[in-house]
């Protein structure tokens, strides 16, 4: 019988080798809102959904839903903390989809959605569109179950950083990335050393707790799926994994942007992202969508890998390149089996969830 660490190392070996809430209570119909609740409503962010997506031609598609708002004005800027209101770039109703074009080159564009009722919200395309690291993206911009939003530009996730260009590094420096957590093994680090933005602190947080990913073989698609499921469980249970994720979550605050990554940015990084978003109160369906987005961001790279394999092997190895709902579900199942609840898991890691939310949420 293989040990938990062996299962985790095996899962990473295969992937790395290929990729080298409660209902609201009713209130009396005639009860007038208090002054405090009225002030809170005026300050609350009314958006229940909002996204920004950069298109191939450089334009941006913005979509939002703000129940209770009749009109939303959009402003654009390159600093999420200071978006000037000199000229609106778009506007729409409380629920709308608009296109913004002609903004020009910038490290990153942010859009402030200003409703006629309630507080504004800043959104941006999560992807940094780095050809050298296609799975490099922001963990911000997600709405929590209680109506707050994860800050943009504070925590990023990525795949291998060894191919970053000088231009990429300059951009990441300007975006304020100050700490980079490398979740890989020493052998992976040696084979593909990180390229880091100037001034960034490198932190090794080896999830596997092994010197190398080792070797492991699978002979069928189901065997590959089983290995990935077991590996996900071990990311919760292994001592090395707990230590790595405790270190990562403790550093995710508002003192400077944090980046964490592994080789493909989907398994070890995927669980780290899922754990952080869950700790912040992001709904499970949103956490799952962020996890599964690696399939989209890595589609081209994965297709190139499979194209190099004989047809008979493609079905066997595809599960190792994918992320799948059952993989992530296995991690959360392991949390329940080992700890009883996700809150208990965070306590076991020594993570202060309340402080994490104070640091990384707005609204």
DSSP for 23-83, written as a single string = PPPP--TTPPPPHHHHHHHHHS---SEEEEEE-TTS-EEEEEE-TT-S-EEEEEES-TT--
Instruction: Residue 75: give the domain boundaries.
Output: 46-118
76: β partners? 111
Q: Is 33 within a domain?
A: no
The pLDDT score that the predictor gives to residue 237 is 95
Whether residue 322 sits in one domain with residue 191: yes
Partners of 127 in the β-ladder: 137
Whether pLDDT at 143 is above 70? yes
Q: Within its chain, how far is the Cα of 36 from the centroid? A: 35
pLDDT tens readout for residues 306-362: 999 998 899 999 999 999 999 999 999 999 999 999 999 999 999 999 999 999 999
Residue 137, pLDDT > 50, answer: yes
Could you read off the pLDDT of 207-231 as tens digits, one per residue? 998 766 656 678 899 999 999 999 9
Give yes or no: residues 78 and 180 share one domain: no
Shared domain for 278 and 335, answered yes or no, is yes
Pairwise CA distance, residues 157 & 108, whole Å? 16
User: 35 in a domain, yes or no?
Assistant: no
How far are the Cα atoms of 144, 275, 283 from residue 346, in angstroms, in the given order? 17, 9, 17
187: tokens are 């052998």
State the Cα–Cα distance between residues 272 and 332, nearest whole angstrom: 12
Given 90, 118, 146, the domain boundary residue is 118
How many domains, in total, are found in the chain? 2
Residue 35 neighbours by CB under 8 Å, 6+ apart: none
- Does residue 27 sit within a domain? no
Contact 91, 72 (CB under 8 A): yes
Q: Is the same domain home to 138 and 206?
A: yes
**99 lies in the same domain as 243:** no
Residue 220 has a pLDDT of 93
Classify residue 70: in a domain, yes or no.
yes
**81, 206, 324 from 175: Cα distances, Å:** 12, 26, 31
Same-domain status, 196 and 310: yes
* pLDDT for 253: 75
Q: Are residues 153 and 87 in the same domain?
A: no
Q: What pLDDT does residue 256 have?
A: 82
User: For the domain that residue 225 is a member of, what is the CATH number?
Assistant: 3.90.190.10
- Same domain for 51 and 170, yes or no, is no
The set of catalytic residues is 262
Domain membership of residue 25 (yes or no) is no
pLDDT given at position 204? 96
Cα–Cα distance for residue pair 287/342, rounded to 1 Å: 14
Residue ending a domain, choose from 63, 97, 118: 118
Query: What's the start-to-end Cα distance of the chain, in Å?
Result: 49
Asked if the structure places residue 108 within a domain, the reply is: yes
355 belongs to a structural domain: yes
Q: Taking residues 294-305, report their average pLDDT.
A: 96
- Find the angle CA(349)-CA(12)-CA(329) to the nearest 5 degrees: 60
Alpha helices in 53-208 (DSSP H): 166-174, 186-191
Regarding whether 240 and 140 lie in a shared domain, the answer is yes
Do 108 and 218 belong together in one domain? Answer: no
Same domain, 150 and 204: yes
Domain at 68, CATH number? 2.60.40
55, 87, 118 - which closes a domain:
118
Average pLDDT over residues 198-215: 85
Whether residue 299 is contained in a domain is answered as yes
Same domain, 111 and 166: no
Instruction: Look up residue 284 and give its two tokens.
Output: 């499970």
């Amino acid at each position: 019988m293989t040990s938990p660490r062996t299962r985790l190392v095996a899962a990473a070996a295969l992937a790395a080798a290929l990729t080298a809430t409660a209902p609201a209570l009713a209130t009396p119909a005639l009860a007038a809102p208090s002054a405090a609740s009225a002030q809170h409503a005026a300050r609350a962010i009314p958006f229940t959904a909002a996204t920004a997506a950069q298109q191939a031609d450089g334009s941006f598609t913005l979509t939002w839903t703000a129940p209770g708002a009749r009109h939303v004005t959009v402003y654009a800027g390159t600093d999420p903390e200071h978006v000037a209101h000199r000229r609106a770039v778009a506007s729409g109703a409380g629920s709308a989809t608009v296109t913004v074009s002609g903004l020009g080159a910038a490290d990153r564009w942010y859009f402030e959605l200003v409703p006629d009722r309630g507080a504004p919200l800043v959104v941006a395309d999560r992807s940094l569109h780095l050809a050298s690291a296609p799975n490099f993206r922001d963990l911000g911009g997600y709405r929590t179950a209680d109506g707050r939003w994860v800050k943009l530009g504070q925590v990023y996730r990525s795949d291998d950083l060894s191919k970053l260009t000088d231009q990429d590094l300059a951009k990441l420096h300007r975006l304020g990335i100050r700490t980079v957590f490398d979740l890989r093994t020493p052998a992976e680090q040696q084979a593909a050393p990180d390229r880091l933005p100037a001034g960034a602190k490198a932190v090794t947080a080896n999830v596997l707790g092994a010197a190398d990913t080792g070797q492991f073989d699978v002979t069928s698609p189901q065997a590959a799926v089983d290995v990935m499921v077991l590996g996900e469980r071990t990311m919760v249970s292994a001592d090395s994994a707990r230590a790595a994720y405790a270190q990562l979550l403790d550093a995710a605050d508002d003192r400077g942007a944090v980046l964490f990554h592994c080789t493909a940015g989907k398994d070890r990084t995927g669980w780290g992202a899922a754990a952080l978003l869950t700790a912040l109160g992001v709904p499970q369906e949103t956490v799952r969508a962020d996890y599964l987005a690696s399939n989209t961001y890595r589609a081209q790279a994965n297709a190139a890998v499979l194209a190099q394999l004989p047809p008979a092997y493609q079905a066997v190895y595809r599960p190792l390149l994918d992320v799948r709902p059952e993989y992530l579900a296995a991690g959360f199942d392991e949390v329940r089996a080992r700890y009883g609840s996700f809150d208990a898991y965070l306590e076991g890691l020594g993570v202060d969830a309340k402080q994490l939310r104070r640091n990384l949420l707005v609204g």
